[in-house]
Amino acid sequence: MQIIGIDIGTTTISGAVLEYENEKTVKLLEAKTIENGGFMPTANEWEKIQDAGAIVKKAEKLLDDLLDKYPQTERIGLTGQMHGIVYIDQTGTCVSPLYTWQDGRGSLCEKGQCSLVQEIKEKCDLEAASGYGLVTHIYNLKHGLIPERAVGFCTIMDYFGMCLTGRKKPLVHVSNAAGFGFFDGRNMKFETEKLSKMGVKETWLPEVCTGIEKLGLYRNRQVTTAIGDNQASFLGAAGKEENTLLVNMGTGGQISILSDQYFAEKGIEARPFLDGKYLLVGSSLCGGKSYALLEQFFRRVVKAVTGEDSSLYPVMEQFAKTGKEQSNRISEDRKLKIRTTFDGTRTDPKSSGSIRGLTSDNFTPEAFTYGILEGMGDELYQMYRTIKNGTGIQIKNLIGSGNGVRKNPVFCEMLEELFTFTKLKNDSFHLEMSAYKEEAAAGAAISSTLCS
């Protein structure tokens, strides 16, 4: 059968049309991506909000175009940016902007007091990052920022599903519910006692399902519950394969591996997946953005000197190749070491990046370019080591996704070398690229087949 997946990302909205026979026989018929463009201007630098209504209109137009072109489509699956929330009223209408996962209100320190995420840690003994939906909600509750007509909240893709099917109340898959924070992943339910300590009533929480459920019909096609974009990306890139590590590099970076066991450690999340399994996930806040920051730095210098303003990524690719050759010729203690945590980490938002080992020999654009790539890769590698030490899960396959991997051959080689150290034998790893460029949209489509 033909199936469609829609992925509402932070910067883009993507659609994928698949010909699906079974888990092993899937063919991509078309993938299409458009700009999201939903960010709204705000007087607060920490506030990252988007126009939910405009996003839904764009996503619906994309879906309609694909349905017109592929009228034999039977099912529609959904995914999108996790953690963020929109408020809805009793009629199922959105009454707020989308507070995105990038929103920083939870990390604000006001009037000499600790931040909200610190308060949550102290009162509830719970790690919750700024941008998580319930952190945003608690902040809004404390500051009187919740719209008067609001009675609940959900993710943007859950709201899109409501708009398509006419539902008045959201039905949220556990993969998205866990992204709000204050969620017990072992027992698949919200931690209502801890939420009560923060003043949140249970009536605010959406209904949660553990399986893929039917939401309703859109143009006579079955629409199913949205899943988190991380879970959708894994499903689209690796299916349900165990011992497979997915390395994604976009604005942020991420590693994901499937597990039967729940394992959560500092910097590692156990995210609900499908069939009662988990994705063990480590995320860097400043992954591919690190490389983009360096490109912007070089570009400003070139513009100041020559007046030209054009992409320098092709030049940086050559810098990276030369930087790797130079790095291979010098001892470890003479190499430039760059820590690419420029926007902090999930567990320490206030941490910063650093540069060590700077010498007159490596103070070069080549060394800096290669050093940034090493920093990006090493942050993810250390996360995998935490997972391996805690669970014993051994990688057999390595899959790459995201433009930060696809468009950077030197980074691909670096990942292969880094993770080869984890193999039991001396065989080197081959990084296999995901079969679909739009993994999340493809995974969303595949998820729709899991509903009976």
Write out the two tokens for 392: 């014993």
Single-letter amino acid code for the residue at 83: H
pTM for this entry: 0.87
Give the angle subtended at the CA of 157 by the CAs of 126 and 76, to the nearest 5°: 135
Q: What is residue 422's predicted lDDT score, i.e. its pLDDT?
A: 59
Tell me what the mean pLDDT of segment 359-370 comes to. 95
Angstrom distance (rounded) from CA 351 to CA 141: 28
Half-sphere exposure of 65 (CA within 13 A, CB side): 15
Q: What is residue 370's predicted lDDT score, i.e. its pLDDT?
A: 96
For residue 216, pLDDT beyond 60: yes
Write out the two tokens for 447: 């998820």
Q: How buried is residue 144: exposed, middle or buried, by Cβ count under 10 Å (0-12/13-18/19+)?
A: exposed
45-60 pLDDT, tens digit each: 999 999 999 999 999 9
Could you tell me which residues come within 8 angstroms of residue 153 by beta carbon, excluding any fewer than 6 positions away?
Answer: 85, 86, 87, 88, 133, 137, 204, 206
Single-letter amino acid code for the residue at 150: A
137-151, 195-209, 334-348, 371-385: the lowest-pLDDT one: 334-348
Could you tell me which residues come within 8 angstroms of residue 386 by beta carbon, excluding any fewer than 6 positions away?
Answer: 265, 266, 267, 268, 282
Angstrom distance (rounded) from CA 303 to CA 24: 50
Q: What is residue 388's predicted lDDT score, i.e. its pLDDT?
A: 93
pLDDT confidence bin for 423, thresholds 50/70/90: low
* Look-up of token digits 């999108």: 80
